[in-house]
Structure formats: C-alpha cells, structure tokens
Structure 1
Amino acid sequence: MRLSPLPADEWDDEVDAALAGMLPKRRRNPQGAGNALATMVRHPGLTRSFMPFNAHLLFGSTLSARTRELAILRVATLRNSPYEVEHHTAMGLAAGLTLEEIEDAQRGAAHDSVDQLILDATTELDRESTISDATWAALSEHLDERQLIDLVFTVGTYATLAIAFNTFGIEPDRELEPEYER
C-alpha cells in the first residue's frame, strides 16, 4: 500500500466536508468511509470537488443501476482493479445482476443484446478511447443522448479510479457494505 487511509486522529472538519455529499454523517469516519474514500481524503480539496460528480454517476445518472454496474464491472476488470471489481460485484448484485451475469460482464460477454452493446462500448472506450461508429449507432437505438453521455463519463471515471486505486494500493473492504447512502 503506497497510500494508507488517513489515520483517525487526522480527520477534521475539512475531511468531513469533503465526504458530506457522498456519505451520511455516521459513515464519515475511517471505518465507515472504507479504504478508497479514507485514502482519497488525504487530498480533501480534490475529494470535495470529485464527490458531487461521482455521486451523479452513482445516484443521478440516466443509466439504470444495472447498466451502470455492467459498465463499471467491465472497465474494472479491464483495468485489473481488485478494489473496484469486489466493490461493484456487491453493488451489481444489489442492482439485480446475477453472479453469472457479473462473471460474464467481466469477460465481456452477455446473453442480452443490449447488455452486450454496453460491454462492447466499455471495451472500446477502454482500449481505443472512443466508441466505434457501428457500436454508437447500435447503442443509439436503445439509449438516449443523455444515457450515452452518462455511459462515456461512467467508463472514463471508473477507469481513472482504477488507475488511482491500483497506484495507491487500495485494498478491498471486506467488512464494509458497498452501497453508499446519501
């Protein structure tokens, strides 16, 4: 672990404010926040700026929770992010995905044609930093403009988080409930 979670004795009002948009008061502590957020608050200004955007992706996105989790699981696997895979496996189950669907998504395969398009688009974004014209056209038959935008930003954001979490050495939270509350 290159960066450890911020020690409890260093949590102050600035750290609390950085997490206020994402977590309820009872979770704004080193144990309740989990390893990722407890590490991110080492830079409270960045965390405070990032949290509203991430909250949009998790709670305000035009994508269904199921679609969002398929995309996140795929990019987390492509980016080899154990933290994100474990965390979003639990969130995927909560969003209605089965373990088989989660395992398939990690491999980039789906039985449903729309799910397959989401996985293909995620793979293309990760590998090429764009969605091909053919995939975009096919997705456009099922997703509206805002959903397409939310998909691109979800994949990009979770690719960035995977890079950060892998670089910092953030370990999965085995004891923490993954679903955030607002």
Structure 2
Amino acid sequence: MTRLEPVPYEKWDAEALKPLTGGRQVPPSNALGLLVRHPRLAKAFLTFNTHLLMRSSLPPKTRELVILRVAWRRRCRYEWAQHVLIGRQEGVSEKDLAGIRAGDPTLLNRAVDELDTVSALSDATYAELAEELDEHQLMDLVFTVGAYGALAMAFNTFEVELDPGIDDGGFGVGAD
C-alpha cells in the first residue's frame, strides 16, 4: 500500500509536468502522480531529470545500465521495472541485467557502487572512466547516479506501486 496516493491522472497539473512533457499528453504513471502532489518540486526536479533522461551526453545504453545499478542497489522495485523496459529499448540484454543483479565487476557497476557507497570515485575508477568518457559524460554519469538515487529514495519511502500492466522486470531474481 502506498503512503502517498498518486494524484489521479485527470487532476494532474500540466504546468508542473511541462519540463518533461513539453505540453504533450503522457500516459498515467504512479511516479508522475506522486510528483504532481508537489507541483513546484515536480517542475524543478523534472527540469533536471529530463536532461538526464533525454538530453544526457551518455550513450543511452550506458545511462540505463547506470540507472539500473542504482535501482538494484537501492532495492527500488518501481525504478527497476521502469528502466528494465527503457533499457531493453536501448539494447540492455538479459545478460547485462544478470550482471547488474550479481554486481559483476564491470566499470559501470564499480562506478555506481563507489558513488553510492562513498559519494566519490576512486582514482583508479575515475581514470578508467576518463579514458572512455569526456568531461560532460563524466558529469552526466555522476549526476545520473545522484538523481536516480534520490528518486529511488522517494519511491521507496512513499511506497510507489508499479504501474498497471508493468511487471517487476525480474526484480526478485538474484541478489548482490
């Protein structure tokens, strides 16, 4: 049972969602229904999050692997389920998902784990990332981990339920 019921779709504040939607209609979502409970916060956060999700300099598959590792580490079922769907569209494979769940020692898993654990990257991890990513991509990676960590915290705290028709993307499979 959710702690804060999402605002019903027909009562959404379109202005609060404008940074994400650009004024176009979007389908119902428990996450957006939660955010529009606080329109000023929704507008501010969605401006930032829209950059990370739609305008990030990270390759889309990389972005999704990072978000999925955050969701897994934070045990955020809602974030995991949504980004398994998005990730699959961006080329994330079942093998990738299994590696995220298992904590395989990939560079991206290591980066997310370090950022989530100590809020910094080790010199070795930073150097490896800097060989593959430019400075904008490095910044987008760090801010993606932070933003999706905050979202996971909110989704978990307010017990946001999966949207109708969405399965949990294998959330209950495997463990770190």
TM-score, normalised via structure 1 length: 0.85
* 2:77 paired residue number: 82
Unaligned runs of 5+ in 1: 111-115, 177-182
Q: CA deviation at 1:72?
A: 0.5
Q: CA deviation at 1:8?
A: 4.5
* 1:113 paired residue number: none
Residue type of the partner of 1:25?
A: R
Separation of aligned partners in 1, 2:28 and 2:104 = 32
The ranges of structure 1 where at least 4 consecutive aligned residues each deviate by more than 4 angstroms after the TM superposition are none
Separation of aligned partners in 1, 2:146 and 2:72 = 14
Number of residue equivalences: 164
TM-score, normalised via structure 2 length: 0.88
Unaligned runs of 5+ in 2: 167-176
RMSD over aligned Cα, in angstroms?
Answer: 1.5
8 Å contact 1:73–1:88 — kept in the other structure?
yes
8 Å contact 2:110–2:125 — kept in the other structure?
yes
* 1:146 paired residue number: 136
Q: CA deviation at 1:50?
A: 1.0
Separation of aligned partners in 2, 1:33 and 1:45 = 19
* 2:95 paired residue number: 100
* 1:38 paired residue number: 33
8 Å contact 1:68–1:151 — kept in the other structure?
yes
Residue type of the partner of 1:137?
A: A
8 Å contact 2:9–2:33 — kept in the other structure?
no
* 1:20 paired residue number: 18
Q: CA deviation at 1:99?
A: 1.4
Separation of aligned partners in 1, 2:140 and 2:10 = 37
SS at match of 2:29: helix
Residue type of the partner of 1:45?
A: R
- Where in structure 2 are the equivalents of 1:1-182 lying within 5 Å? 1-8=2-9, 10-11=11-12, 15-23=13-21, 25-27=24-26, 32-109=27-104, 116-175=106-165
